[in-house]
């Protein structure tokens, strides 16, 4: 159980409600719809086609713009985003809402974007991506890691540029942004020495998705020094998460501080992993990660895949005995040789 809970982000006025039903959509998809509305577009649901359904984005008025995003029916994910054709053929205004009487028909619209002023949440997300790029460039590391950090910086910069480019006429910038962030995440995972957390993308997109900031899993170290360090870092991060005034006043400085704490966390996580694998710590690691549902003991044998038997004789599932935040096969209290 996590002892710290990230504070919910301040709701963004006007961006929190949508006029259409967003049930079952991913946070990212909802953010696109919210932003489109913030830009003056009027998203409406189109007819479903096979496994996909479509949201039409329409803005009426002299600068009328339209386009659509195709969303997976069950996944709720954005599959494709299509801008409106710059000069639609006659009768192409088929995306949804009819043009109100007295307004210019869609065929005569110009290519003028709805607005070129970035929405505050858009600026916040782009700033975080740019800050992550600067942190990656400034980070000191060996030659191999430096190369990964440089690529990482390029992906974060590309994400920021794409986010800036959103003007309400098409979702293509968000598709580009998401691609760059996915590439960044791949690098972060493949190069732990970069000391970026895999939650970095969640921090960058949080202003768009309005989802709570990520929390830290429990490391459950056996050494007192590591335990003290974990407590300190957790408290520092909680303080930064709660300081929304600092995040608003100087977002670059705030996010740098967050990434600095998370870099220290990555290092601690690696040290705990090494410590956990020492045979002399085996019993103490088990005490922190495992607890029998019958006797509360932690001398447990993992016999068959996903089944565990305590020395008291009680058989249970892995999920029952694990009182840690580990993913099943990653738990240091579960011996490697029994998991195959
Ligand atoms: Zn037991
Ligand atoms: Zn565990």
The pLDDT tens digits of the residues spanning 302-323 come to 876 778 999 999 999 988 999 9
Q: State whether 288 and 236 are in the same domain.
A: no
Domain identity same for 297 and 156: no
Question: 247 and 301 share a domain?
Answer: no
Do 216 and 310 lie in a common domain? no
Q: Are residues 295 and 160 in the same domain?
A: no
Give the residue from 227, 255, 276 where a domain finishes. Answer: 276
Q: Which of 276, 301, 325 is the last residue of a domain?
A: 276
Judge if 196 and 321 occupy the same domain.
Answer: no
Q: Is the pLDDT of residue 337 over 80?
A: no
pLDDT confidence band for 87 (50 / 70 / 90): very low
- Evaluate if residue 176 carries a pLDDT over 70: yes
How far apart are alpha carbons 132 and 180 in whole angstroms?
13
Residues 125 and 266 in one domain: yes
Q: State the Cα angle at 16 between 14 and 18, rounded to 5°.
A: 90
Residues 269 and 151 in one domain: yes
Domain holding 132, by residue range, is: 120-276
Query: Could you tell me the pLDDT band of residue 6, with boundaries at 50, 70 and 90?
Result: very low
Res 81: pLDDT: 55
pLDDT at 167 over 70: yes
Which residue has better confidence, 55 or 293? 293
What pTM did the predictor assign? 0.64
> What six digits make up the tokens of 168?
């309400």
DSSP strand pairing (315-317 vs 52-59): unpaired
Cα 282 to averaged position of ligand 1 atoms, centre (Å): 18
Residue 301 and residue 165 share a domain: no
Supply the DSSP symbol for 16. S
Which ligand places an atom closest to the C-alpha of 290? Answer: 2
Question: First-to-last CA distance in the chain?
Answer: 28
**Structural domain includes residue 261:** yes
Cα gap 284→291, rounded to integer Å = 12
Residue of 323, 127, 58 whose CA lies nearest to 217: 323
Mean pLDDT of 12-18: 43
Task: Tell me which of 255, 276, 297 is where a domain ends.
Answer: 276
- In three-state secondary structure terms, 236 is helix
Output the DSSP codes for 240-278. HHH-HHHHHH-HHHHHHHHHHHHHHHHHHHHHHHHHHTS
> Which ligand places an atom closest to the C-alpha of 313?
1
CA of 88 to the centre of ligand 2 (A): 58
Considering the domain architecture, whether residues 206 and 320 belong to the same structural domain is answered as no
Q: Which residues surround ligand 2, an ion (CB under 5 A)?
A: 289, 324, 326, 331
Question: Which ligand has its closest atom nearest to the C-alpha of 316?
Answer: 1
**How many folded domains does the chain comprise?**
2
Answer whether residue 222 is part of any domain: yes
The answer on 165 and 134 residing in a single domain is: yes
- Tell me, in angstroms, the distance from the centre of ligand 1 to residue 285's CA: 17
Pair 267, 293 in one domain? no
Query: DSSP secondary-structure letter at 233?
Result: H
Ligand at shortest distance from the CA of 309: 1
Task: For tokens 């942190």, name the residue.
Answer: 135
In a domain, 69, yes or no: no
């Amino acid at each position: 159980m996590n002892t710290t809970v990230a504070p919910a982000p301040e709701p963004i006025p006007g961006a929190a409600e949508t006029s259409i039903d967003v049930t079952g959509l991913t946070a990212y998809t909802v953010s696109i719809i919210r932003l489109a509305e913030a830009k003056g577009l009027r998203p409406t649901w189109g007819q479903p086609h096979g496994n996909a359904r479509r949201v039409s984005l329409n803005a009426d008025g002299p600068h009328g713009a339209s386009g659509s995003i195709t969303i997976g029916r069950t996944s709720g994910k954005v599959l494709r985003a299509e801008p409106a054709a710059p000069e639609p053929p006659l009768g192409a205004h088929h995306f949804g809402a009819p043009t109100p009487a007295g307004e210019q028909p869609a065929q005569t619209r110009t290519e003028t974007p709805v607005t070129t002023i970035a929405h505050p949440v858009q600026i916040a997300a782009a700033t975080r991506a740019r800050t992550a790029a600067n942190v990656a460039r400034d980070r000191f590391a060996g030659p191999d890691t430096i190369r990964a950090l440089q690529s990482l910086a390029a992906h974060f910069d590309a994400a920021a540029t794409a986010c800036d480019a959103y003007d309400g006429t098409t979702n293509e910038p968000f598709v580009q942004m998401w691609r760059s962030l996915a590439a960044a995440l791949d690098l972060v995972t493949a190069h732990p020495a970069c000391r970026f957390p895999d939650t970095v993308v969640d921090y960058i997109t949080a202003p768009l998705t309005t989802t709570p900031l990520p929390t830290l899993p429990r490391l459950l170290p056996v050494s007192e020094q590591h335990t003290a360090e974990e407590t300190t870092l957790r408290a520092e991060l909680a303080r930064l998460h709660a300081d929304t005034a600092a995040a608003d006043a100087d977002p670059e400085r705030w996010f740098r501080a967050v990434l600095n704490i998370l870099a220290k966390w990555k290092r601690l996580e690696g040290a705990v992993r090494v410590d956990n694998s020492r045979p002399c710590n085996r019993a103490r690691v088990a005490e922190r990660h495992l607890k029998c549902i019958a006797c509360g003991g932690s001398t447990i044998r993992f016999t068959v895949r996903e089944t565990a038997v305590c020395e008291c004789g009680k058989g249970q599932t892995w999920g029952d005995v694990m009182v840690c935040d580990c993913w099943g096969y990653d738990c240091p209290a579960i011996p490697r040789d029994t998991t195959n």
